[in-house]
């Protein structure tokens, strides 16, 4: 306990330096700014703002990037409530009741509850990260290649199970991702794989071109196909404070949302998006009168908004402790850390305590800043939304191109991003979720390396994965997860078949 | 024609083709044994599984209801990607300003409601802004003007 406090004290000492406070502020502001704009998710946001952090010290850079991430979550809800347009995919559910509240003239209350709920969730998840990281790190240090391989298998299974849409497609996307992850020089033998003799590919496909293409460019192309749909509220936002009845209805929802979000954020493939959806579903299920939802129920704003912020933050836990990113945003953070010469994994807390704890403390400060700064700035964010998409996408494209180019000063990677943009659009058209592919891509090389090391240590006997207790536990959990999802699906299709 | 799930069929074909390509390209990589896996072991395995799931999707699509892919926005795809490729082609020799102007002008044609005068102004403003922020402000090592102007 005393250790926890001294650790947090160190963290705050680092995060409270004027310099780092400034980076935190800039990060949260930029994050909110981009979060407000529809059509750019957090992955593209962070990727395009990455070059801004190149010249900073590693601590400052990571503080700023983390700020961009949770700032983006926050900004997304503002647009959802005021314009019925989710700024981020994790705010899709907030639209339902948030916009309904706004139409009833309760926009202020909705915004305030979203902000305060997010802040509360941010505080809780900051503490959770601080409390659970050290024991997890202690455990991770005992992990061998067997455990790592099984853990990643579990991660991929969870990502498949949690992806929406067809499960077979999600599985195929994971395998395609794993395969793409193998492009480049094989670490063990030095052999070139799938490089087509292109020197730029010998280091593998860059994560940023892939993510920016699949998420950024593909989205832009898809958005251009649809006519613009924006509803503005003529009424001014006034009466920012929720009433006492609002508070009474909202706070249990905030608690539930925070708990659910914190839990789901840690899971691979989880994070903010899933947390928000799950929290909304839960509220609707346990509500005494579910028909209120969709007509401006304050719980329908409070729960998902708390949950997505909690999920966004706890997804840092696997990345910081195990070095395994649970979702695309964290993979990008891994990339950012590597650029600054830090190899994420269990050793970071021991070797760079100021970085580790400084980042955690900065999350709390950043959440506080968001509440204080953003409520007065809402008017500005709404103005920003009046920029028409025909101009907005040009600016987004410019930032994306410069962002990708400046990573390695490589024009090849910009062209590669264009290619993945095309592929991403095809995936959208075919109904294939890109998130599992990205997770497979990140974990592919790590899994192969651990598999090969494990087989070498076990003399080619694959049964070791089942005889090591932790590894067995993880694989059993993965199998159970698959069964839980497959069984009802099987039953459902059978029922349908019977009906016909 | 009988109803089939076209999205499933097409994605199945895509995965099957990707798996087959992965197999063909990796067939000369050293396979090794389970004990000492060569560089080909994992890619060949993954390619095989990927084609398997592709085939499964194709089979399944025959049984499911029709899901169309909808219209393809060829105009947006073509111009947005051409703009990005122009940026990639120009950035090294033509400099940042030329690359941004080319990107903006070409990509703007991907939108149905783009207005020429607005695009010209946007291109100039963004080129200036990009050069000031990224090269002057953030000190990224990018040429602002074409290299043949500098020598």
Of the residues A179, A214, A407, A417, the best mutation for testing chain B's interface (the one with the most B CB atoms within 10 Å of its CB) is A179
Phi-psi label, residue A294: left if phi above 0, alpha if psi -120 to 50, beta otherwise: left
Higher pLDDT, A16 or A382: A16
Please count the residues of chain A. 500
Does A179 sit within 8 Å of B111, measured CB to CB? no
What are the residue boundaries of the structural domains of chain B, listed by start? 6-61, 74-150
Residues 12-71 of B with CB under 8 A from A: 14-15, 18-19, 22, 25-26, 29-30, 33-39, 41-43, 46-47, 49-50, 53-54, 56-57, 60, 67, 69-71
Q: Give the orientation angle of helix A42-49 with respect to helix A18-36, to 10 degrees.
A: 130
Helix/strand/coil for A187: coil
Please count the residues of chain B. 151
A230, pLDDT greater than 60: no
- Look at residue A500 in the predicted model and tell me its pLDDT: 42
DSSP string, A43-111: HHHHHHHGGGGTTS-HHHHHHHHHHHHHHHHHHHHHHHHHHS--SSGGGHHHHHHHHHHHHTT-HHHHH
Mean pLDDT of B9-38: 88
Does B110 sit within 8 Å of A221, measured CB to CB? yes
Q: ∠ CA A427-A429-A430 to the nearest 5 degrees?
A: 65
Least confident of A54-68, A486-500, B55-69: A486-500
Mean pLDDT of B55-63: 88
Q: Which residue has tokens 């700032």?
A: A71
What are the residue boundaries of the structural domains of chain A, listed by start? 2-499
Higher pLDDT, B73 or A235: B73
Give the alpha-carbon dihedral of A214, B114, B97, A198, to 10 degrees.
30
Q: In whole angstroms, give the CA distance from residue A363 to residue A348.
A: 18
Q: Over the Cα atoms of chain B, what is R_g?
A: 24
Q: Which helix (H) or strand (E) holds A334?
A: helix A328-339
Is B119 in CB contact (< 8 Å) with chain A? yes
Q: In whole angstroms, give the CA distance from residue A331 to residue A47.
A: 11
How many C-beta atoms surround the C-beta of residue B136 within 10 A?
Answer: 10
Q: Give the orientation angle of helix A272-286 with respect to helix A92-103, to 10 degrees.
A: 50
Q: In whole angstroms, give the CA distance from residue A327 to residue A320.
A: 13
Q: Which helix (H) or strand (E) holds A193?
A: strand A192-193
Question: If we measure between CA atoms, which residue out of A322, A330, A356, A360 comes closest to residue A470?
Answer: A322
Q: In whole angstroms, give the CA distance from residue A41 to residue A68.
A: 11
CA of A358 to nearest chain B CA: how many angstroms apart? 24
How many C-beta atoms surround the C-beta of residue B150 within 10 A?
Answer: 9
Q: In whole angstroms, give the CA distance from residue A295 to residue B67.
A: 31
Distances (CA, A) of A386 to A39, A86, A229, A230, A379: 14, 15, 12, 9, 11
Distances (CA, A) of B56 to A34, A158, B79: 40, 21, 35
**What confidence category does residue A24 fall into, taking pLDDT thresholds of 50, 70 and 90?**
very high
Nearest by CB: B104 against A389, A398, A406:
A398
What residues of A are in contact with residue B100 (Cβ under 8 Å)?
398
Q: Over the Cα atoms of chain A, what is R_g?
A: 22
Is A435 in CB contact (< 8 Å) with chain B? no
Question: If we measure between CA atoms, which residue out of A419, A436, A422 comes closest to residue A205?
Answer: A419
How many C-beta atoms surround the C-beta of residue B116 within 10 A?
Answer: 10
DSSP code of B136? I
Nearest by CB: A411 against B30, B88, B140:
B88
| pTM: predicted TM-score of the whole model, two decimal places | 0.85
B85, pLDDT greater than 90: yes
Q: Which pLDDT tens digit goes with each residue over A443-493?
A: 888 899 889 989 888 888 888 888 888 899 889 988 988 888 777 665 555
Does B42 sit within 8 Å of A182, measured CB to CB? yes
- Look at residue A238 in the predicted model and tell me its pLDDT: 57
What residues of B are in contact with residue A54 (Cβ under 8 Å)?
138, 140
Contact A154, A474 (CB under 8 A): yes
Size of interface A-B (CB pairs under 8 A): 191
Residues 6+ apart with CB under 8 A from A239: A105, A106, A108, A109
Contact A190, A395 (CB under 8 A): no
Q: Which pLDDT tens digit goes with each residue over A241-280?
A: 777 788 888 889 999 999 999 988 887 766 677 788 888 8
Residues 6+ apart with CB under 8 A from A177: A436, A437, A438, A439, A440, A441, A442, A444
Does B71 sit within 8 Å of A225, measured CB to CB? yes
Q: Give the orientation angle of helix A58-83 with respect to helix A92-103, to 10 degrees.
A: 50
Would the CA dihedral through A331, A332, A335, A341 be positive or negative? Answer: negative
Higher pLDDT, A499 or A317: A317
Is B74 in CB contact (< 8 Å) with chain A? no
- Look at residue A493 in the predicted model and tell me its pLDDT: 56
Nearest by CB: B84 against A188, A194, A414:
A414
Nearest by CB: B110 against A188, A224, A402:
A224
Q: Which residue has tokens 């599992």?
A: A436
Mean of the per-residue pLDDT values of chain A: 84
Q: In whole angstroms, give the CA distance from residue B93 to residue B18.
A: 35
What residues of B are in contact with residue A402 (Cβ under 8 Å)?
96, 130, 134, 140, 142
- Look at residue B30 in the predicted model and tell me its pLDDT: 83
**What confidence category does residue A139 fall into, taking pLDDT thresholds of 50, 70 and 90?**
confident
What residues of A are in contact with residue B39 (Cβ under 8 Å)?
186, 188-189, 191, 193
Token output for A247? 């508070």
CA of A395 to nearest chain B CA: how many angstroms apart? 7
Does B25 sit within 8 Å of A224, measured CB to CB? no
Q: In whole angstroms, give the CA distance from residue A164 to residue A362.
A: 33
Distances (CA, A) of A321 to A140, A295, A315, A361, B132: 7, 42, 11, 16, 39
Is B84 in CB contact (< 8 Å) with chain A? yes
- Look at residue B137 in the predicted model and tell me its pLDDT: 81
Write phi, then psi, for B32 (nearest 5 degrees). Answer: 75, -170
How many C-beta atoms surround the C-beta of residue B64 within 10 A?
Answer: 16
Q: Which pLDDT tens digit goes with each residue over A4-13?
A: 888 889 999 9
Question: If we measure between CA atoms, which residue out of A267, A276, A357 comes closest to residue A309?
Answer: A276
Q: In whole angstroms, give the CA distance from residue A325 to residue A317.
A: 9
Does B15 sit within 8 Å of A415, measured CB to CB? no
Q: Which pLDDT tens digit goes with each residue over A344-395?
A: 888 888 888 888 899 889 988 998 998 887 777 877 877 777 778 888 889 8
- Look at residue A234 in the predicted model and tell me its pLDDT: 46
Higher pLDDT, A165 or B21: B21
B53, pLDDT greater than 60: yes
């Amino acid at each position: 306990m005393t250790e926890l406090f001294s650790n947090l004290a160190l963290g705050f000492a680092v995060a409270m330096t004027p310099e780092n406070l400034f980076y935190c502020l800039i990060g949260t502001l930029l994050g909110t700014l981009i979060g407000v704009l529809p059509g750019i998710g957090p992955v593209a946001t962070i990727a395009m703002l990455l070059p801004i952090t190149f010249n900073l010290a590693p601590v400052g850079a990571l503080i700023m990037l983390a700020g961009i991430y949770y700032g983006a979550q926050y900004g997304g809800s503002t647009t959802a409530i005021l314009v019925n347009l989710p700024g981020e995919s994790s705010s899709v559910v907030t639209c339902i009741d948030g916009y309904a509240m706004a139409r009833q003239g309760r926009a202020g209350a909705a915004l305030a509850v979203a902000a305060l709920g997010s802040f509360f969730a941010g505080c809780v998840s900051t503490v959770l990260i601080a409390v659970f990281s050290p024991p997890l790190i202690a455990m991770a240090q005992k992990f061998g290649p067997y455990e790592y391989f099984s853990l990643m298998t579990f991660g991929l299974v969870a990502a498949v199970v949690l992806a929406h849409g067809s499960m077979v497609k999600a599985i195929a996307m994971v395998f395609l991702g794993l395969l793409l992850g193998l492009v480049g020089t094989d670490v063990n033998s030095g052999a070139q794989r799938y490089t087509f003799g292109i020197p730029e590919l010998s280091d593998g496909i860059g994560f940023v071109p892939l993510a920016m293409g699949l998420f950024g460019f593909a989205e832009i192309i898809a958005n251009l196909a649809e006519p613009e749909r924006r509803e503005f509220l003529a009424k001014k936002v006034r009466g920012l404070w929720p009433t006492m009845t609002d508070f009474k209805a909202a706070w249990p929802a905030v608690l539930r949302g925070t708990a659910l979000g914190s839990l789901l954020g840690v899971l691979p493939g989880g994070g903010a998006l899933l947390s928000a959806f799950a929290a909304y579903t839960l509220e609707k299920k346990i509500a005494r009168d579910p028909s209120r939802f969709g007509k401006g129920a304050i719980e329908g704003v409070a729960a998902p908004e708390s949950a997505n912020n909690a999920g966004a933050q706890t997804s840092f836990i696997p990345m910081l402790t195990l070095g395994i990113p649970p979702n695309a945003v964290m993979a990008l953070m891994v990339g950012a850390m590597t650029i600054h010469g830090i190899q994420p994994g269990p050793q970071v807390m021991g070797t760079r305590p100021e970085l580790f704890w400084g980042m955690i403390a900065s999350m709390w400060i950043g959440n506080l800043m968001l509440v204080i700064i953003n409520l007065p700035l809402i008017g500005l964010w709404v103005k920003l939304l009046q920029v028409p998409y025909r101009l907005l996408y040009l600016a987004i494209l410019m930032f994306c191109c410069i962002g990708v180019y400046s990573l390695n000063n490589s024009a090849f990677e910009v062209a590669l991003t264009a290619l993945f943009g095309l592929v991403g659009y095809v995936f959208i058209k075919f109904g294939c979720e890109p998130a599992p592919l990205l997770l497979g891509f990140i974990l592919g090389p790590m899994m192969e390396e651990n598999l090969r090391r494990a087989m070498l240590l076990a003399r080619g006997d694959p049964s070791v994965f089942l005889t090591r207790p932790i590894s067995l536990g993880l694989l059993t959990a993965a199998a159970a997860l698959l069964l839980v999802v497959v069984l009802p699906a099987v039953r459902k299709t059978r029922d349908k078949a019977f009906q016909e | 024609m009988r109803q089939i799930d076209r999205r499933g069929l097409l994605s199945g074909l895509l995965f099957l083709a990707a798996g087959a390509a992965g197999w063909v390209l990796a067939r000369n990589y050293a396979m090794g044994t389970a004990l000492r896996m060569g560089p080909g072991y994992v890619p060949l395995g993954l390619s095989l599984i990927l084609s398997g799931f592709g085939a499964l999707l194709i089979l399944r699509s025959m049984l499911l209801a029709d899901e169309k892919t909808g219209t393809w926005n060829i105009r947006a795809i073509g111009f947005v990607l051409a703009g990005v490729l122009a940026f990639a082609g120009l950035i090294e020799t033509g400099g940042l300003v030329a690359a941004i102007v080319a990107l903006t002008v070409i990509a703007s044609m991907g939108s149905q409601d783009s207005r020429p005068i607005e695009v010209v102004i946007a291109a100039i403003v963004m080129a200036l802004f990009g050069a000031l922020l990224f090269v002057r402000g953030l000190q990224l090592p990018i040429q602002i003007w074409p290299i043949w102007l500098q020598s």
